[in-house]
Amino acid sequence: MSAAQPSSLPHDPQSTGAQPTSVRLMGVQARAAARVLRSLPTDRKVAALHAIAAGLRANASAILAANAQDVQAAEASGLPEAMVARLRLDARALDGIAADVEAVSRLPDPVGETTPPSTQPSGIRVSTRRVPLGVLGVIYESRPNVTVDVAALAIMSGNAVILRGGRETVRSNAALEDVIHAALREQNLPAHAAQVIRDPARERMLELLKLDDLVDAIIPRGGAGLHRYCVENATVPVIVGGIGVVHIYLDPSFTHDPADVTRAAAIIHNAKVQKPSACNALDTLLIHEQALGTLPDIARDLHASGVTLRADPPAHAVLSAAGIAAEPATAADFGTEFLALTASVRTVASLDEALDFIATHGNHTDVILTRDDAQARRFVQDVDSAAVIVNASPRFNDGGQLGLGAEVAISTQKLHARGPMGLRELTTTKWVVEGNGEVRG
């Protein structure tokens, strides 16, 4: 099949659900492909991504037919509508995925960047060179766009990747893999640069997690349960991310001007409502007790958008007096990542109390809304999270929004990457030493 021409792809679960190749063999093939990719010139990688984008558009009918089968099976199995929505593709979404691949092709290629050499007293010249990580294992759930996004980022950064999606995406991912493979072959590149584990059995995922002699890093994308399973079972290093509680602290200095109250309401509404299932959506609003009078102005739009507020006693009293429904918060509502139209409200007496609360519950994205520069500086200095934001929505903690073009995941750990992981975060460095016969004394 040419990536530039439409074709009929086999997507019956009986033909694509079974894994024809062992995970270990996939690892061997990925390692061989990685050796080719790591030295590939930028223009060859760009051409491969353009071929993938063209293949997605040319084979849209076959991909969407496979996806429709996945959606039908998901609905029949009782999968929640929110997950079905993440699974569903249409022509516009597929064209958007192709456009995202093209956008990745326009990003600066970090591979090969070299630091200026320095000459040591021994006479040797030393520098560092940026190189791909090697072979990635990416485990994710019901978003078929991740299959293409991650494959594009891996190829552009010179990495091979083994992808394991959720069982609900088996047909969609098989169709996408077929297109990617055809595009790579068209460019005379190894198709095994991007491979999908088509068998959804957990045993196959476990095999991938223990493939430490062939896979360099595991990157899970999903809920806390998936991350915990990977950490507890992997012998391959795991880059953990995408989970964590998001806080916004509303300082009283941001409520003196009615225009600021309007801005605060808009930021908080965007943080919770624009995409409530995202990992960078608001979970807990920390509001200074001196700013409680503005809470009804902030809560009205949230309530109108269907947000359930779970408020501590001071905040609950203010909302009740204003005629805004809220549920009494319990201890479990603080430190919880809701991933839904639910948010908790906690009253604090000072910035110190807010910082202590975030230190206990935060690590992902934390925001301060303030007009006090000293408070902002202290918040940025003290909060130890993947992203710290002043006077803007936490939804900006995203690879595309931060100028990375795209991301594999948002890492909330400190090794080897932190925050959105784009092309540069899929690379590492090696030392290059040049000499002229020097020996160590």
Instruction: Describe the crossing of helices 42-58 and 60-76 by its angle, rounded to 10 degrees.
Output: 70
Domain count, the chain: 2
Distance CA 3, CA 20 (A): 22
> CATH no. for residue 41?
3.40.605.10
Residues 229, 334: one domain?
no
Whether omega for the bond prior to residue 416 falls within 30 degrees of 0, making it cis, is yes
Q: 175 and 80 in one domain?
A: yes
Residue 438 counted as domain residue? no
7 in a domain, yes or no? no
What are the tokens at 388?
Answer: 């710290």
Q: Phi then psi for 408, rounded to 5 degrees? A: -85, -40
Angle at 219 between CA 196 and CA 398, to 5 degrees: 110
Q: Are residues 356 and 336 in the same domain?
A: yes
Per-residue pLDDT of the chain (441 residues; tens, 9 = 90+): 444 444 434 333 334 444 567 999 999 999 999 999 999 999 999 999 999 999 999 999 999 999 999 999 999 999 888 789 889 999 999 999 999 999 999 999 999 999 999 999 999 999 999 999 999 999 998 789 999 999 999 999 999 999 999 999 999 999 999 999 999 999 999 999 999 999 999 999 999 999 999 999 999 988 788 989 999 999 999 998 767 899 999 999 999 999 999 999 999 999 999 999 889 999 999 999 999 999 999 999 999 999 999 999 999 999 999 999 999 999 999 999 998 999 999 999 999 999 999 999 999 999 999 999 999 999 999 999 999 999 999 999 998 899 887 789 889 888 888 999 999 999 999 999 999 999 998
Residue showing tokens 């088509």? 198
Residues 222 and 122 in one domain: yes
* Residue in 162, 149, 208 with CA at minimum distance from that of residue 423: 149
Tell me: do 264 and 290 sit in the same domain: yes
Looking at the chain, how many residues does it have? 441
Residue 346 lies in a domain: yes
Spell out the SS3 assignment of the chain. Answer: CCCCCCCCCCCCHHHHCCCCCCHHHHHHHHHHHHHHHCCCCHHHHHHHHHHHHHHHHHCHHHHHHHHHHHHHHHHHCCCCHHHHHHHCCCHHHHHHHHHHHHHHHCCCCCCCCECCCEECCCCCEEEEEEEECCEEEEECCCCHHHHHHHHHHHHHCCCEEEEECCHHHHHHHHHHHHHHHHHHHHCCCCHHHEEECCCCCHHHHHHHHCCCCCCCEEEECCCHHHHHHHHHHCCCCECCECCCEEEEEECHHHCCCHHHHHHHHHHHHHHHHCCCCCCCCCCEEEEEHHHHHHHHHHHHHHHHCCCEEEECHHHHHHHHHCCCCCEECCHHHCCCCCCCCEEEEEEECCHHHHHHHHHHHEEEEEEEECCCHHHHHHHHHHCCCCEEEECCCHHHCCCCCCCCCCCCCEECCCCCCCEECCCHHHEEEEEEEECCCCCCC
Q: How far apart are CA 168 and CA 173, in angstroms?
A: 10
Residue 441 lies in a domain: no
Q: Is 411 part of a structural domain of the chain? A: no
Q: Determine, yes or no, domain membership for 24.
A: yes
Residue 398 and residue 296 share a domain: yes
The answer to the question of residue 256 being in a domain is yes
Are 254 and 297 in contact by the 8 Å Cβ rule? The answer is no
Pair (127, 272) in one structural domain: no
CATH number, domain at 266? 3.40.309.10
Strands 327-328 and 194-196: unpaired
| Residues in Cβ contact with 106 at an 8 Å cutoff, skipping those fewer than 6 apart | 405
Same domain, 287 and 253: yes
Contacting residues for 213 by C-beta, under 8 A, at least 6 apart:
27
Domain range enclosing 394:
245-403
pLDDT at 16: 46
Statement to judge: residues 204 and 286 lie in one domain = no
Report the DSSP pairing between strands 427-434 and 125-132. Answer: antiparallel
- Exposure pattern of 206-223 as b/e (b: 16+ CB <10 Å)? ebbbebeebbbbbbbbbe
What's the pLDDT at 242?
66
Tell me whether residue 408 is in a domain: no
Give me the helix-helix angle, 202-209 and 224-233, nearest 10°. 50
Q: Tell me: do 325 and 399 sit in the same domain.
A: yes
CA–CA gap between residue 200 and residue 21 (Å, rounded):
13
Q: Could you tell me if 44 and 186 lie in one domain?
A: yes
pLDDT of residue 4: 43
- Whether 77 and 126 map to the same domain: the answer is yes
